[in-house]
């Protein structure tokens, strides 16, 4: 007793082999960028709110990068926890800063590993903000007290980018959402003949509560206030196009949308607007920790949920995913 149906989509779902032939999106280990939190001293310190992720010494960072290389993950992105913090964040562009040491160590041991560096002030400033604050010697009476100053911050970002480039970084990733940060960094790099250094812009970065665990991990929470004067309002998507357009005009080589999971529509919209640019999605700390917490409780299948989540980002238009799941996801994909 068959109904006369001409079209039966289930025909193409009847076996694993056919399903694999018509699959539109495929995850690969080479899609992942693995974040590392590097600190001074020896050994490792577990990050309580991010099970499976540690703050690591330079030596342990090299070990993590080796694991990534073995798993087929081509890149790491580095975040540094400085020895001391101050209003400007001097260690951020110091020759022997923690990131500078980590870049040199990783590039020496694993030259083929692509080392991406996060360029921002928040982990290095004593106030935890992403730029120089409007106070003290920098005070400008026309602006609110405590405002994150845009243009003086650009100068610092340029110095940080040059410092990372001099240590052998492969890609510079500015994450501070300052206006004009891409052209400022491009100009600073080019003035030192780093014309080949690619810039991956955190072009569309929201003022999101999903960064909670990261701020423990990198010890970079603002000591007062929030980041709403520079990071984007989660309600906005047209503004995402405005931000991405500016960064492309300023010379960004790659774009990023961050966070990823609650912003899949933004990933798709930005990708459609700039299909010619490689695009990354940042699968942020809160997204990672939610999966880990539910898995610890036995409420979800960790492997399947993780891979489905990463697949959704790629399907939405991301070419690359920055993810704390990189090593385990690469291993699951292999098996």
**Contact set with ligand PBG (CB under 6 A):** 118, 120, 122-123, 175, 211, 214-215, 220, 227, 284-285
| Adjacent-strand bridge partners of 257 | 204, 281
CA 102 to chain centre: 17
Q: Which is nearer to ligand PBG, 32 or 214 (CB)?
A: 214
Question: 257 and 204 in contact (C-beta within 8 Å)?
Answer: yes
Closest CA to 113 of 73, 163, 59: 73
Min CB(31)–ligand PBG separation in Å: 17
DSSP code for 12: G
Kindly list the catalytic residues: 205, 258
Integer Cα distance of 332 and 291 in angstroms = 16
Min CB(165)–ligand PBG separation in Å: 18
Can you give 111-132 as a three-state secondary structure string? Answer: CCCEEEEEECCCCCECCCCCCE
DSSP code for 31: G
Q: Which is nearer to ligand PBG, 190 or 226 (CB)?
A: 226
Min CB(92)–ligand PBG separation in Å: 10
CA distances from 26 to 20, 149, 302 (A): 10, 43, 19
Min CB(217)–ligand PBG separation in Å: 8
State the residue for tokens 């990261």. Answer: 214
Closest CA to 78 of 43, 111, 39: 39
In the complex, residue closest to ligand PBG by CB: 214
* Ramachandran sector of residue 115 (left: φ over 0; alpha: ψ -120 to 50; beta: rest): beta
Min CB(84)–ligand PBG separation in Å: 18
Quote the Cα angle for 242-243-245, to 5°.
65
| Mutual angle of helices 98-109 and 150-167, in 10-degree steps | 30
Integer Cα distance of 131 and 158 in angstroms = 12
Closest CA to 325 of 247, 264, 231, 260: 260
Min CB(194)–ligand PBG separation in Å: 21
Q: Which two tokens stand for residue 264?
A: 């899949």
């Amino acid at each position: 007793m068959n109904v006369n149906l001409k079209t039966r989509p289930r025909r193409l779902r009847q076996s694993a082999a056919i399903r694999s032939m018509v699959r539109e999106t495929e995850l690969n280990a080479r899609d992942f960028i693995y974040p590392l939190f590097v600190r001074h001293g020896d050994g490792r310190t577990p990050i309580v709110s991010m099970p499976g992720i540690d703050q690591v010494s330079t030596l342990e960072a090299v070990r993590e990068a080796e694991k990534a290389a073995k798993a087929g993950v081509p890149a790491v992105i580095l975040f540094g926890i400085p020895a001391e913090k101050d209003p400007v964040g001097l260690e951020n562009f110091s020759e022997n800063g923690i990131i500078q040491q980590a870049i040199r160590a990783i590039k020496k041991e694993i030259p083929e590993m692509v080392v991406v560096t996060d360029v921002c002030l928040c982990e290095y400033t004593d106030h935890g903000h992403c730029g120089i604050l409007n106070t003290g010697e920098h005070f400008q009476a026309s602006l609110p007290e405590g405002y994150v100053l845009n243009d003086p911050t650009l100068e610092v970002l340029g110095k940080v980018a040059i410092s990372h480039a001099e240590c052998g970084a492969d890609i510079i990733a500015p994450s501070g959402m300052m206006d004009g940060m891409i052209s400022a960094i491009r100009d600073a790099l080019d003035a030192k003949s780093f014309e080949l250094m690619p810039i991956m812009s955190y072009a569309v970065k929201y003022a999101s509560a999903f960064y909670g665990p990261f701020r423990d991990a990198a010890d970079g929470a603002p000591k007062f206030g929030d980041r709403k004067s520079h990071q984007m309002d989660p309600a906005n998507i047209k503004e995402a196009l405005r931000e991405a357009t500016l960064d492309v005009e300023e010379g960004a080589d790659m774009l990023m949308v961050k966070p990823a999971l609650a912003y899949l529509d933004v990933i798709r919209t930005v990708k459609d607007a700039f299909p010619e640019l490689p695009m990354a999605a940042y699968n942020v700390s809160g997204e990672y920790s939610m999966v880990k917490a539910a898995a610890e409780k036995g409420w979800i299948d960790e492997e399947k949920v993780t891979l489905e989540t990463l697949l959704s980002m790629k399907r939405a238009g991301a070419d690359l995913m920055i993810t704390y799941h990189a090593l385990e996801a690469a291993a699951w994909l292999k098996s």
